[in-house]
Chain A
Amino acid sequence: MMSAYLDFIRIRFIMMLAYRVNYYSGIIIYAINIGAYYFLWQAIYGDKEILAGFTLIQMTTYVAVSWMARAFYFNNLDREIANEIRDGSVSVQLIRPYSYLFVKMMQGFGEGLFRMLLFMIPGMIIVCLIFPVTLPTDPTTWLIYLVMLFFSFLINSQINILTGLFAFFVENNEGMMRMKRVMVDLFSGVVVPIAFFPGWLSAIMQWLPFQAITYLPSSVFTGRTPSSEVLHVFGIQVLWFIGLLIPIWLIWRAARRRLFVQGG
């Protein structure tokens, strides 16, 4: 059974390779994104040395690493699920002998793996050449970061799945998906590190899962999180991962009941 799931990763990986335009446009767009934010932050810093505890170099590294991480964890599972619900193909998926949501997760992972290998790694090399970025030298930091990055992917995918499943209950969840995308980008800290948020907002963020997607891993990677707290930060990610399983399970159960009652 597990090998079937692994095959979903492989197939999605190969599928991504087939979307050539997608690949090239992605590279250009990420390059522009990182570049634009680099200059934006440069302008924000002006002649100040430190803002919210970040030096400009730390900030640049943070921006580059966060966007690269986004390339890995970003996927359109919400849209895929919503479309499959709307055109009714989800009921076909349900008669297959596998867990639909787990398969979706695997497909998302295949996509992420593709972007990591063919996108993130070459992209990171280019970014290091162009912009003043300092990477950690300690191999354990790299290792911890990779594990945390994997959890970023899990949590982001969970949020996507939740958003997508809402298509069962509302006819059109386009607006919701759009809103989710902006919220993830802003509140996860890709666009602005959470340390920059005004006190009340960052206090709210402490209680939302978004920071676990970008802010926490990127802070560890850029060395902003002291090593004594790394375990604690990682614990938050794990907690969110487990915590998000519950609403998914509840919604999925309600959705299936609805599907059985109403038909596809």
Chain B
Amino acid sequence: MRYASLFWEYIKNYAKTRLTYRADFWVEVLSDLLFQGMNLIFILIVFQHTSALGGWSEAEVVFVYGFFMIPYGVFSTFFSIWNFSERYIVKGEMDRVLTRPAHSLYQVLLENVDPPSLIGSFVGAIIMALSWGQLDLTFQVMDVLVLLLLILGAVLIYAGLYTALSAISFYSDAPTGIVPLMYNIQNYGRYPVNIYNKIIRFVLTWLLPFAFVGVIPASYFLEKKADDLSQLALLTPVMGIVVFSLGLWFWNHGVKRYRGAGS
């Protein structure tokens, strides 16, 4: 309850800060959307030269992409901590966070909320809805509930992974450069993982489970394939809880190792 009211307070402050720089707001929304658009362009280009990718049609791959955008938008809104290492560890702002009575991760996240990213989720939902129609998929009320559950699971997976990645800064004060590089890897979970060889498939499913934020949960709604990924779909929330717990544990453990900036 208290955390909810804190959340509201931070959002209000965010809004006030943002209103000071109105022009930037739109630049950011636009670039966010273009960013998503680029990835979509890749899919469209590829399907100009082939009709199927590992047995998946263009509409299906676009559907997966649409699904992916929803949890990704939610995640980007609340986990916009790309500069965590620089701002909180190198410049030592973690000191201030740690002298306040609320969980440190929660404070860091709230100080960096980025609501414009949510627009990506809406665009994703539209893309998904369009492909849904194009693919002639059936629609039941249950689907909405499952969809929400899968999105929640996917957000948790993302959240857990990036919490853990940010927490690396507690252990190594030098810049790790991992977060920007992750940008590419996360893309691969959006393509049918059966096209990869065993190692990469294993990595994307169980180690850096980006397959669980894209292709696996989305396959729940699609026609069954020979290599049936949708069996794993309902595992998404479980994976979410496991990954997020691990990420949080890693963070909490890291905070104990925090050594502050300079003296």
A interface residue numbers (CB < 8 A to B): 18-22, 25-26, 29, 32-33, 35-36, 39-40, 42-46, 48, 51-52, 76, 83, 170-176, 178-179, 181-183, 185-186, 191-192, 196-198, 201
Contacts and interface: CB of A to CB of B under 8 A. Distances in A.
Nearest to B53: A43
Residue in A36, A42, A186, A196 whose Cβ sees the most chain B Cβ within 10 Å = A36
A172 B21 contact: yes
Given A83-B86, A175-B31, A198 B45 contact: yes
B34 interface: yes
B28 interface: yes
A21 B200 contact: no
Contacts, number: 121
A32 B86 CA distance: 26
Nearest to A15: B174
Contacts of B197: 35, 39
Interface string B158-182: 0000000000100010111110111
Interface residues of B, number: 46
Nearest to B191: A40
A32 B46 contact: no
A217 B191 CA distance: 28
A19 B177 contact: yes
Given A26-B177, A39-B197, 15 more contacts: A32-B185, A35-B196, A36-B196, A40-B188, A40-B195, A43-B54, A46-B50, A170-B24, A175-B29, A175-B30, A176-B27, A179-B35, A182-B35, A196-B45, A198-B48
Contacts of B96: none
A35 B200 contact: yes
A183 B181 contact: no
Interface string B191-216: 11001110110010000000000000
B89 to A, nearest CB: 13
Given A44-B46, A171-B24, A22 B185 contact: no
Interface string B38-56: 1101100110111011100
Contacts of B42: 186, 191-192
Residue in B21, B34, B45, B188 whose Cβ sees the most chain A Cβ within 10 Å = B45
B139 interface: no
Nearest to B35: A182
A112 to B, nearest CB: 14
B185 A19 contact: no
A25 B34 contact: no
Contact of A43 (B168, B175, B195): B195
B177 A22 contact: yes
B141 interface: no
Interface string B222-259: 00000000000000000000000000000000000000
A32 B192 CA distance: 16
A22 B165 CA distance: 12
A198 B48 CA distance: 8
Contacts of B203: 32
Given A29-B185, A172-B24, A178 B31 contact: yes
A21 B172 contact: yes
B176 A19 contact: yes
A192 B50 CA distance: 14
Contacts of A171: 21, 24
B28 A175 contact: yes
A23 B172 CA distance: 13
Contacts of B31: 175-176, 178-179
B184 A20 contact: no
